[in-house]
Amino acid sequence: MELFLQSIANGLVQGGFFALFAVGLVLIFGVMGVVNFAHGELVMVGAFTIWLLHAQYGLGYIPAIAVAIVLVTVIGLVMERLLFRPTRADPLAGLICSIGILFILQVIAALIGGDGPSKQVPPPYQGTLVMFESLRIPYQRVFSLAISVAALVSLWFFLTRTRYGWALRAVALDREAAELQGINTNRISMVAIGVGTALAGLAGGLIAPLTNINPHMGHNVIVTAFIVTIVGGVGSLSGAVLAAILYAVFHTLITVYFGATIATISGLVLMVVVLIVKPTGLMGVRVSE
Amino acid sequence: MGISRRKFIQASAAGTVAASTGFSPLTFASSHDTVKIGMNIPMTGDYAPWGLPGLYGCQIVADNLNASGGVEIGGKKHKIEIVSYDHGYDIEKAVQGYKKMVSQDEADMVMMLGGATVGAVMPWGERKNVFTTTLLCSDITPDTEHLVATCESHPLYVVTGVEWLAKNHPDAKTAVIVTNNDVEYGLQAAATFQAAFEVAGIEVVDMNLHGFDVTDFAPIVSSVLAKNPDIFCMATSFYTTPLMEQLYHQGYKGKVISTTLDYHEEVIAKTSQEFVDGTIHQFPAFDDPKLTEDGINFPDPGGFDAEFRKRHPNDWSAVSWEYPAIMLNWLEGAKAAGSTDSDKVLKALQSNPNPEFVFGGGKWWGKELWGRDNVVIGRWPVVVIEGGKTRIKEFASVSDWLDKHSDVLIKYMKSHGLRTVS
Amino acid sequence: MLLQVDDIHVHYGQVAAVKGISLEVDEADFVALIGSNGAGKSTTLRTISGLEHPSAGSIVFDGVAIDRMSADRIVRLGIAHVPEGRRVFKDLTVSENLRLGAFTRSDQQEIEDDLEKILTRFPRLRERKDQMARTMSGGEQQMVAIGRALMSKPRMLLLDEPSLGLAPLIVQEIARILIEINHSGVAVVLVEQNAELALELARHGYVLETGNIALEGEASGLMDNDHVRRAYLGI
């Protein structure tokens, strides 16, 4: 029972982190029609920024996260302006451009970080929260979960309570009909990629003290993001959040009781089963309507 | 068009490198002959910690030897030149680098880390009689006449750590093993630890073999800690930092034993010195006073350690001294043979029943498991972290253990489907 | 003259969909474009609202050339387009759909007042304003689409096949609403396959055939034209 509770807690922390980058991927895909393969590398850039500024140069953790978010957002905006917008007519072109960016970011990280082992960031928040005597969550993870939830709630508020939020959802649903409402879809694309990449930068900042940081860490991130997106229903934000949490708890429990390899296989099997049984995902809708 | 452009770039890059090194007037002006030591190793990527620091180490040892006039082989002084290639643990690049090193750079021998990259180069290496070295003794096969493991015999040395643990902490009776589930590193170490624990009378109550895709070690650690082990065994060198971090946060109080704990300062930064103190592993710091004792075959370990940390303060790892030790082995062989010819060096080395081994007590071994006595085993240090520093507790004989218990080892290797000849 | 379309040509790739169409719409006018499938009716509307751009010819709205302008800027000049198939935002609520219609406006208080007016005009929408648009019937979605267009306070409303797929009773209701809108001073350009309905409602009519204007004139006159009667009214 203790182990079960501990695992649920660990799964929720992971789920919050998964949701941050999966939601960004869905936003960008939904609004711009681009599968951003470089999304994992954006998380990596966020984590690298923390390593460089916080662990190497002693900038505070929170300011370093702020810089990571700004930097990753700028990269995203440049990608939209210089690559995705000019290639909008061709759905494959955006994808190929994003794969190019993926490699470029990896190489830049390797150049800045140098060769050698994965980087480590000492956790800024030391100590462990102990509940019910045996449930232990490091404060760093508590922090990570709290910020993830806060970011997701803010995003939800933005999307459902503000004019630009509605406009963003409208563009994702029907770009042309959105233009007919006077919505400048290029500007909304900038907002979408800005928000999506800012969340990736934040995710990188939060994961930095919890994992091995290296130029190709984005690979695992993007695989997880794809599973979560497909299980949640491509294009559905609430589906992505739900799937992120369910998948993280599922993966954590399988890891605990059956092993990590089985967990990875089960995750992929889950994705395939969803594709067969409910191709639209948990919250997805039929495209044919 | 694309291909010719790429060739153009490759050619100009090669030209630039040649212009800046190989054909420099200084080389021609030298009255010495040179021996060329090849290092075909990962310097980037996940495996970089077991490549790059070795290049740094070899450069220091080579600089010292060159400064004292070089090495005398066959009556002539030779300067040492190191040629290196970063294969990033990519098999195709490893083959490319190996061939380039031998054909183009005319390396006299090639040092490699081991695993799939070594397996891929050896068929060609055997045809060309290239003296090649590995850190993984499981790379040896009946067909690899020119492949030797003369320093680290990963993971055989871990038996000494378990032996020491059982002797000094007799109350620790149960263990869990966590490692990556690859055939080259993780499973070999898992099997060896299992054998060592069985011999020491310690029960392995859980074993967690995970892939290289794990980003969160919290569930893995909670799952094995649920078995309340006295000993937490890391048969991995890839994930020691996140595993230690999780042990710390999940309140683990028992013993920790690991193949290695490189970058333990990093672990301390993520946990606490108090927590890391007492961890047992197998790779000493070279300023250790015990390395000045008799029987150690490494020139001035303390001076080497100081110079390394001066040049590369944050890059010390297990391989920092291992590749230099292998290079020194080969130089001994070349001196004895009076030649740099692969077969002659090999013959000179293997005709010595007590080869020089870095920690002493060396002997040729391996036929029983892999079909060839191309591995040098000997004494190996057991180290414990004390006050945040790695300190040698004792040297123990790997060969004594294998003489008595190799059948147990073979049993566990077979249980994981690992290759043995018996 | 509110809108003047002068000899426009529109191509989709190599295919010419519109080959020289001219039409005029007065302030508070009601104009119908009729014709069979592929005659160029929808393309003409899409070109006016900026979703397509003409390869030749000009479009002037209230003295401003709009043939090179992007759709979102044209909305700001006072042209609202209810596209074919309604195209409501299905995963947004009815009230979010309507508010998006006012995206170009910043007069918060007036927006609320206009929303109130529209909910009064379409009582069914008031009952369902917090429901997702996808849960509504076809007729209700058409009302959302028209309401959304009105929220931009247009001077001219373009409608593309509003009766398509709707029950006769609902079609009548939509027709009544269109007349009301027109009477409130908004010019209406209606594209319909249901030529009878369109000519009943409109003052002026244009008959489009293969990208050209075949006939034009008073709606009542067209209704009596033999060619129109045979080809489009089925009499």
Q: For residue range A60-75, list pLDDT tens digits in order.
A: 999 999 999 999 999 9
* pLDDT (mean) for A115-141: 82
In a domain, B17, yes or no: no
* Same-domain pairing of B140 and B271: no
pLDDT at residue B18 in the model: 37
* Same-domain pairing of B173 and B270: yes
Could you tell me which residues come within 8 angstroms of residue A16 by beta carbon, excluding any fewer than 6 positions away?
A144, A145, A148, A149, A152, A244, A245
Fold of the CATH domain C3-86+138-233: Rossmann fold (3.40.50)
Strand order across the beta sheet in which C56-61 lies: C15-25, C3-12, C56-61, C64-65
Cα C151 to Cα A181, C78, C93, C101, distances in angstroms:
9, 11, 15, 5
Contact (CB, 8 A) for C124 and C143: yes
In a domain, A241, yes or no: no
Write out the two tokens for A223: 């695989």
The tens digit of pLDDT for each residue in B364-376 reads 999 988 999 999 9
Q: Report yes or no on chains C and A touching (3+ CB pairs under 8 A).
A: yes
Give the distance from residue A30's alpha carbon to the nearest chain C alpha carbon, in angstroms: 13
Q: Which domain holds residue B268?
A: 158-281+380-415
The tens digit of pLDDT for each residue in B380-395 reads 999 999 999 999 999 9
Rounded to whole angstroms, the Cα distance separating A44 from C175 reads 58
In a domain, A289, yes or no: no
The tens digit of pLDDT for each residue in A177-219 reads 999 999 999 999 999 999 999 999 999 999 999 888 988 889 8
The tens digit of pLDDT for each residue in A234-262 reads 777 888 888 899 999 999 999 888 888 88
Q: Which single residue is written with the structure tokens 């790892």? A: B317
What residues form DSSP beta bridges with B78? B33, B71
- Looking at the structure of chain A, the number of domains it has is 1
In a domain, A183, yes or no: yes
- Looking at the structure of chain B, the number of domains it has is 2
Q: Which residues of A touch B (CB under 8 A)?
A: 2-3, 6-7, 10-11, 13-14, 110, 115-118, 120, 122-123, 128, 130, 136-138, 141, 207, 209-212, 214, 216-217, 220-221, 223-224, 251-253, 255-257, 259-261, 263-264
In a domain, B12, yes or no: no
* pLDDT (mean) for B1-24: 39
Q: Do A177 and C104 count as a contact with CB atoms less than 8 A apart?
A: no
* Same-domain pairing of B229 and B343: no
Q: Do B215 and A253 count as a contact with CB atoms less than 8 A apart?
A: no
* Same-domain pairing of B140 and B198: no
Q: How confident is the model at residue B17 (pLDDT cuts 50, 70, 90)?
A: very low
* pLDDT (mean) for B318-340: 94
A174, A180, A183: residue with CB nearest C81: A180
Percent of chain B with pLDDT over 90: 73
pLDDT at residue C14 in the model: 87
Q: Do A177 and C101 count as a contact with CB atoms less than 8 A apart?
A: no
In a domain, A83, yes or no: yes
Q: Which domain holds residue A75?
A: 2-218
Q: Is C221 helix (H, G, I), strand (E, B) or coil?
A: helix
Which chains pack against B, by 3+ Cβ pairs within 8 A?
A
In a domain, A107, yes or no: yes
Q: Do A115 and B52 count as a contact with CB atoms less than 8 A apart?
A: yes
* Same-domain pairing of B69 and B118: yes
Contacts of C104 in chain A (CB under 8 A): 181-182
* pLDDT (mean) for B165-172: 96
* Same-domain pairing of B252 and B388: yes
The tens digit of pLDDT for each residue in B62-95 reads 999 999 999 999 888 999 999 999 998 899 999 9
In a domain, A284, yes or no: no
The tens digit of pLDDT for each residue in C189-213 reads 999 988 999 999 999 999 999 999 9
In a domain, B22, yes or no: no
In a domain, B287, yes or no: no
The tens digit of pLDDT for each residue in C16-59 reads 999 999 999 999 999 999 998 889 999 999 999 999 999 999 99
pLDDT at residue B406 in the model: 92
In a domain, B13, yes or no: no
According to DSSP H, which parts of chain A are helical? Answer: 2-32, 39-49, 61-79, 91-113, 139-161, 163-173, 175-179, 185-207, 218-232, 237-258, 260-277
In a domain, B21, yes or no: no
In a domain, B336, yes or no: yes
pLDDT at residue A284 in the model: 62
In a domain, A279, yes or no: no
* Same-domain pairing of B253 and B339: no
Q: What is the CATH number of the domain that holds B133?
A: 3.40.50.2300
Rounded to whole angstroms, the Cα distance separating A34 from C130 reads 31
Q: Do C88 and A177 count as a contact with CB atoms less than 8 A apart?
A: yes
